Structure 1
Amino acid sequence: MSERVTSQRGDRGARAAHAQGDLSGAPVVTGLGVIAATGLNAETYWKNILDGRGGIGRVARFDPAQYPSRLAGEIRDFDPAAHLPDRLLAQTDHVTRFSLTAAAQALADAGVDPAALGEYDMSVVTASSAGGFEFGQKELEKLWSKGGDHVSAYQSFAWFYAVNTGQISIRHGIRGPSGVIVTDQAGGLDAVGQARRHLRAGTPLAVTGGVDGSLCPWGWIGQLATGQISERDDAARAYLPFDADANGWVPGEGGAILIVEQPDSAARRSAPKVYGEISGYAATFDPAPGSGRPPGLRRAIELALADAGVGASDVDVVFADAAGVPELDLAEAQALHGVFGPGRVPVTAPKTMTGRLAAGAGGLDLAMALLSLRDQVIPPTINVGTLADGCADLDLVLDAPRPAPLRRALVVARGLGGFNAAVVVTAP
């Protein structure tokens, strides 16, 4: 169905990506598809984010009463039958249905008819952390309670972390180089970085980003095992990145799919819009615990800026990883201070309205960054009050959107296990 593609990481990988191929011009983003707790399409989502409308609440998909954490950025009021044919409903988990819907939105937004393009001229690279966990849990319940004859044949792939890439590829007849990236929160940015490599190798167009979520008991236990999930029941006090009262993060579901193209491909087919260009990308690993070496986030940022050929002063806004865990917030603040200087660049974390979306987070932050460049406004971070020691010098955009002249944005992300990624996007 889909091969696994392992992201190249570190200094050498970032520089190699920059040098790959001889195609001129940075890849451009021509389409966005968004689905999250705050909106089921890009424009609805964007309006609610600018209005500061949070989508975090008590989990409704299952009874969370027995668990220490009970809040999530859950997508509600989504009718899969309105977006997908019956044959796909039978074989897909809800997160794959979200992904297929976002991909269709992105292709339509970009004015792309896949049937009019060569099937090997398109690529699909998505990020995932779980796959269809709810589908898998239900089939395992059938196995335990009724026996193997009652388990769906679709269980063989519906749970798989590569299923979103595979289903998007099949539905739209895409047979170019494709894959899946598994780097947790950093995955959405790493997927775009991998898609950029495909474009530089000659593929004209890529469907990329990530949509993720595992809001079922099986997936919930896995997320609780991190020890980083907030246990508060007040949605306004549960997820507070960079705040003195930070106590963990809130999981969410959703993400964004982007259409990324070679500039000449977009021009050749007269793409109806260009949101911006993917100017720079880099990824690093954190060192082993106890090594005494610093975390790798600052190095990822510096490498991404170098890859884009710009300096720190050229960045107009940063979309933060915003872990909501005190020690991780401090490490991110120190990385930003080290690159930009205290208070030198506006920083925002709109994911306070959706929760952290695992592999869906990076794509969604990229979509927000591109919409910010389009509308010349920085979306807010909500609920945060007094900034923590070491974070107080951040110019965090709080409570209300901030109009600003925006030319270039930086998006950063960190994944469990030491993954770091950074992407620079530039207005067209």
Structure 2
Amino acid sequence: MSTAVVTGLGVVAPNGLGAEEYWAATLEGRSGIGPIERYDASSYPSRLAGQVRGFEAADHLPGRLVPQTDQVTRFALAAADWALADAEVDLTAFDPLELGVATANASGGFEFTQHEVQKLWTLGPQHVSAYQCFAWFYAVNSGQISIRNNLRGAGSALVAEQAAGLDALGQARRLLRKGARLVVAGGVEAPLNPYALVSQISHGLLSRARQAADAYLPFDPRAEGYVPGEGGALLIVEDGDSAGRRGAHRRYGEIVGYAAGFDPRPGSGRPPGLRRVIGDALADAGLRPDEVDVVFADAAGLPGPDRAEAEALAEVFGPRAVPVTAPKTMTGRLLAGGPPVDVVAALLALRDQVIPPTVNTAPADDLPIDLVTGAPREARLRTALVLARGYGGFNSALVVRR
């Protein structure tokens, strides 16, 4: 059976552009969360976000692409370029039919759509851009990455809110097992324009804190919601044998386990699905719980879901038996873009033998969780588990190994 190795990383995050810049900021505890800057959000109940700064689309994309695309696709194309460059892969040496793409997205091209709807309402239909027909669509990132890089193999677009970010990487491994040699995989989001932000505010899960340091506090008794963010990560996932034949200069790690599931209907009396999904991912990896060295938590930032996650981890690993971290407290929850960023952090943690911190939060005393807070923790790391839950009951788990 083919192995799925990660050979390239591309990150667009609120606290760093590029994998190494993001990683340095994360180890230093530098947050990208702050007041929304692009418009007046003073009338909104939630006014903080993890915003990508310093990204100029014209610096990364051909001029013709900029007016055709939403910011989410500009992020995705840049991240894919960085990941391919990091992998030092010559795509012309492959049969294009052996090259695939699998991306996740929960919000689509919200900003592009808002602008076109405004033009429709104020100026009339003749002023609406022809590019609206695809710029808003969940699959647009996969399509544009495929076109730009001549990836003519299987293409996928997954929608399961936050959990889809791991599902895309699980899909990449599946495509490799079906004969692909290389897949660009991950998730990217840009859901911070007014239209997109109001859509998130409507479900009542966003923090209403006014200070960034008090806003996103997973596992903390003060937790009152999450902070939204933009960005994400794309990874180059290759068949291990193929990567060896081409002389891949680095392997960040291997995807060895993956599972997904769904919560039961509310009020059914049945337990949430996360515990089972964790067990299924470990079984898929052929690992015992004591062989997992660190967990990158979903970290909902709400007391009920946080407790459920901590208890699920305690059931699998034992109370406080495995270090847990949530570096997304420095970026906000990036919807489907967040879990691939966590996978990047997990792979770099395995590389550098250090667990990044969860900032600003102090776990409740009665939670059975060993949360890494304050500063990075040096540790002997070989295997990491990454968790993601999506609004509506989605659960996914991914296991990576050195």
- TM-score norm. by structure 1 comes to 0.93
| Distance in 1 of aligned mates of 2:122 and 2:384 | 52
Match of 1:86 in 2: 63
Task: Please give the alpha-carbon distance, in whole angstroms, between the structure 2 residues aligned to 1:62 and 1:189.
Answer: 32
CA distance, structure 2, for counterparts of residue 167 and residue 61 of structure 1:
26
What's the counterpart of residue 242 of structure 2?
Answer: 265
1:61–1:215 Cα contact (<8 Å) kept = no
Q: Partner letter of residue 411 of structure 1?
A: V
CA contact (8 A) 1:115 1:172 kept: no
Q: Deviations over 1:241-270 (max 9, x none)?
A: 000111100000111100001111100110
- Paired with 2:366 and 2:300, the residues of 1 have a C-alpha distance of 15
How far 1:115 sits from its partner (Å)?
A: 2.5
The letter of the residue matching 2:175 is H
Quote the residue 1:9 is aligned against. none
1:366 to 343, 346, 351: 343
**2:388 is aligned with 1:388:** no
Consecutive aligned runs of 4 or more in structure 1 exceeding 6 Å deviation: none
Q: Following superposition of structure 1 onto structure 2, how do residues 40-189 of structure 1 map, counting pairs within 5 Å?
A: 40-189=17-166
Q: Structure 2 matches for 1:183-262, cutoff 5 A?
A: 183-262=160-239
Kindly tell me the number of residue pairs found equivalent between the two proteins: 402
1:421 matched to 2:400? The reply is: no
Q: Does 1:291 align with 2:246?
A: no
- The aligned counterpart of 2:282 is 305
SS in 1 for 2:17: coil
User: What stretches of structure 2 of length at least 5 have no aligned partner?
Assistant: none
Q: Which residue of 2 aligns with 1:14?
A: none
| Structure 2 letter corresponding to 1:247 | E
Alpha-carbon contact 1:27-1:278 (below 8 Å) kept: yes
Tell me the secondary structure at the aligned position of residue 34 of structure 1.
strand
State the TM-score, normalizing by the size of structure 2. Answer: 0.99
Structure 1 residue 116: Cα displacement = 2.5
CA RMSD across the alignment? 0.8
- SS of residue in 1 equivalent to 2:380: coil
The secondary structure found in structure 2 opposite 1:331 is: helix
Partners of 2:241 and 2:390 lie apart in 1 by 34
How big is the shift at 1:76?
A: 1.3
Q: How far is the alpha carbon of 1:138 from its aligned partner? A: 0.3
Question: What is the alpha-carbon distance in structure 2 between the residues aligned to residue 320 and residue 180 of structure 1?
Answer: 24
1:387-412 Cα deviation digits (max 9, x unpaired): 22542x31100010001000000000
CA deviation string 1:24-80 (max 9, x = no partner)? 4x2100000001000010000000000000110011122111110000001111111
1:321 partnered with 2:302: no
Q: Percent identity?
A: 61
| Residue identity matched to 1:196 | R
Partner of 1:397: 372
AA at the equivalent of 1:252: G
Counterpart CA distance in 1 for 2:245 and 2:168 is 25
Deviations 1:178-218 (A, max 9, x none): 11000111011000111111100111110001011211111
Q: Secondary structure at the match of 1:413?
A: strand
Q: Which residue of 2 aligns with 1:11?
A: none
Q: CA separation in 1, counterparts of 2:67 and 2:171?
A: 31
Pairwise CA distance, 1:225: 1.2
> Gapped runs of 5+ residues in structure 1?
1-22
Residue type at the aligned position of 1:152: S
